[in-house]
Amino acid sequence: MVAGEASGDLLAGLLLGGLQARWPQAQTFGIGGPCMVRRGFDAWWPSDKLAVRGYVEVLRHYREISGIRRALAERLLKQRPDAFVGVDAPDFNLGLAHRLRDAGLRTIQFVCPSIWAWRANRVGTIARAVDHVLCLFPFEPEILQRAGVAATFVGHPLADEIPLDPPRAASRAALGLAPGDPVVAVLPGSRRSEIQANGPAFLQATDRLHAQRPELKFLLPVAPGLRGLVEPLLAQWARRVPIVLLDGRSHEALAACDVTLIASGTATLEAALFKRPMVIGYRMNALSYQIMKRMRLQPWVGLPNILCREFVVPELLQQEATPQALAAAVVQWLDAPARCEALAGRFLEVHQQLRRDTAATATDAIAQVLAR
């Protein structure tokens, strides 16, 4: 298995539960993070080695990443496992899977690349690389099957893990918050590059919010190993703001908050499953953004908007993600409880649609691939 970042590690860790329930003696190895390791996964390389996003950013790390992929392929071809499962990280995993499949190994991709959002021509690459795709979203299998790619909708494991009725009171108590405290969760990203790009604008937005509404409480979950990156940004951009840094605990922060200022990515889906209103912001290298923008196939970037097929939450991207605009969008949610309640209803529908006992459903599909 290969998972390339924190969100992939989380998905893979949940999938490992299903694999171990069916095959208790299974050995799993490759590239993974702490969630996978806790499940007994043998991580030959840590997943954060692959946690790079954007064209220009990847180029800076290309030599190291390509070297890891070559070494991993050679090691897997010697071991010849029963199956290779790539978890998201398509730029890394599809090329690896292609080589392994050509050598006679069974290959599975868990998380369909976003061919419905951008880079539609990638479906041919998927067809050549993998035997089966495990899809998180219900509209994906039909797109793949039209191109001759076997696929199964397995739901999203986070929809199984996160309760339909979020533990708001318990999370607030665990974080030392009073029931009536107004709370903003700030999630600028789980990668170093994301925090460097989004952190200054996000933190300046909190500074503005604090000046306007001193009663606001701020929570900022920090991914493992990134506290040393976040703290200097706090000192530079939000020195006056009472922001509580949390080591992980993003789910508690999302359950407890009134609104979240959040970077585009899997975290936005988590916020939707916690029924939280959000402001999606995102910045990246200017050249990478222009390349990706030209290949976009739909108007939405955030997963909640994609799943609802409309702008149910604001997206402020690149130049639009200014501290002023981010802060103003947060205030609009804080001042609109009826709108927040209506949004929670939409997100409950999404949550119910994505609940499929993903670990078991995905394991069933993997078993069928192994039986061929």
Q: Which residue type sits at 158?
A: L
Residue 163 resides in a domain: no
Q: Rounded CA gap, 296 and 298, in Å?
A: 6
Query: CATH number of the domain that 115 lies in?
Result: 3.40.50
Structural domain that includes position 324: 168-354
Does residue 320 lie in a domain region? yes
Q: Are residues 205 and 128 in the same domain?
A: no
Question: In terms of domains, do 215 and 142 share one?
Answer: no
- Token code pair at residue 360: 């078991």
Does 147 share its domain with 105? yes
Say if 78 falls within a structural domain.
yes
CA dist., res. 364 & res. 15, Å (int)? 11
Task: Give the Cα separation of 298 and 315 in Å (integer).
Answer: 13
Do 366 and 306 fall within a single domain?
no
Counting the structural domains of the chain, the total is 2
Question: Does 67 share its domain with 135?
Answer: yes
Quick check: is 281 in a domain?
Answer: yes
- pLDDT tens track of the chain, all 372 residues? 999 888 899 889 989 999 999 999 999 999 999 999 999 999 999 998 886 555 444 556 668 889 999 999 999 999 999 999 999 999 999 999 999 999 999 999 999 988 765 666 788 999 999 999 999 999 899 989 988 999 999 999 889 999 999 999 999 999 999 999 999 999 999 888 899 999 999 999 999 999 999 999 999 999 888 999 999 999 999 999 999 999 999 999 999 999 999 999 889 999 999 999 999 999 876 666 565 665 555 677 899 999 999 999 999 998 999 999 999 999 999 999 999 999 999 999 999 999 999 999 999 999 999 998
Q: Are 219 and 202 in contact (CB under 8 A)?
A: no
Specify the pTM. Answer: 0.80
